[in-house]
Amino acid sequence: MNKFLLLGLFLYFSCVLAYAEHKDMRKENPHEIRVGITEDIFLQSIEMPVGAYGEEVDVNDGYHITGNIEHSYHATGHLFMEYQYRFNHWFGLGAHLDMRGGMWKERKVDYCQWENNSYTINRYTVRMSFMPTVRFTYFNGKTVSLYASLGVGPHFHFKETKLQAIYPAADLCWFGMSMGKKHWFCDMELGITPLPYMVDRLVRLGIGYRF
């Protein structure tokens, strides 16, 4: 959560003196690009390594133990990029790319009373979604703009370099707040990604540029 706090503070102080974009300005700068980060609490809970597992086999006059020990888990959070073309003051059409990585170490153990063999492997997974999106801005005020958006598309799950599966992806932003003056802006969103993450991507923070 520290990375969200630091990014949130940066966005806050960047936008303290900014005002929301007037709807007439959208005609001059219809293109919008942004990058940001989203929490991944649900994925961390299901992807966290289980710890140690294996088996012990009795042999004549001794023992033989094999197993794996998984540890040192880290995750990037959901990192995203988005492009929007704003046709008017209330409707936009674009594309959203979301990527997330999970990394941990796996120690393989194989030893008995005469020999001890062990080595460590770096493991990682990459999840990526590409979703065309539609956005509806339902409030244009002097200080903020409020919007909602919907995206659908494919989701790719890689383990190391091997593609494990392709799922449908869907994302709903039910509350978005944008603050910015002319070209630069920052935003905060509340939403949910029911496919394939169930309850991931609940809080999103981003910064972007209009041209």
Using CA atoms of 147, 150, 154, 155 in order, give the dihedral in degrees to the nearest 10: 60
Provide the pLDDT for residue 101.
Answer: 95
pTM value is 0.80
Provide the pLDDT for residue 17.
Answer: 44
Provide the pLDDT for residue 182.
Answer: 78
DSSP for residue 4 = H
DSSP for residue 200 = B
Candidates 18, 17, 71, 22; CA nearest to 49 is 71
- Residue 139: band (very low, low, confident or very high) from pLDDT cuts 50, 70, 90: very high
Structure tokens at 196: 């394939």
Provide the pLDDT for residue 6.
Answer: 57
Is 80 exceeded by the pLDDT of residue 130? yes
Do 201 and 188 contact (CB within 8 A), yes or no? no
Provide the pLDDT for residue 202.
Answer: 95
Is 80 exceeded by the pLDDT of residue 142? no
Lowest average pLDDT, out of 14-23, 112-121, 158-167, 178-187, goes to 14-23
pLDDT over 90, % of the chain: 51
More confident residue, 80 or 46: 80
Provide the pLDDT for residue 181.
Answer: 73
More confident residue, 91 or 118: 91
Give the HSE-up count for residue 42: Cα atoms under 13 Å, Cβ half-sphere. Answer: 14
Do 21 and 182 contact (CB within 8 A), yes or no? yes
More confident residue, 59 or 44: 44
Q: What is the mean pLDDT of the chain?
A: 84
More confident residue, 6 or 94: 94
Is 50 exceeded by the pLDDT of residue 16? no
Is 60 exceeded by the pLDDT of residue 18? no
Is 70 exceeded by the pLDDT of residue 60? no
CA 193 to chain centre: 10
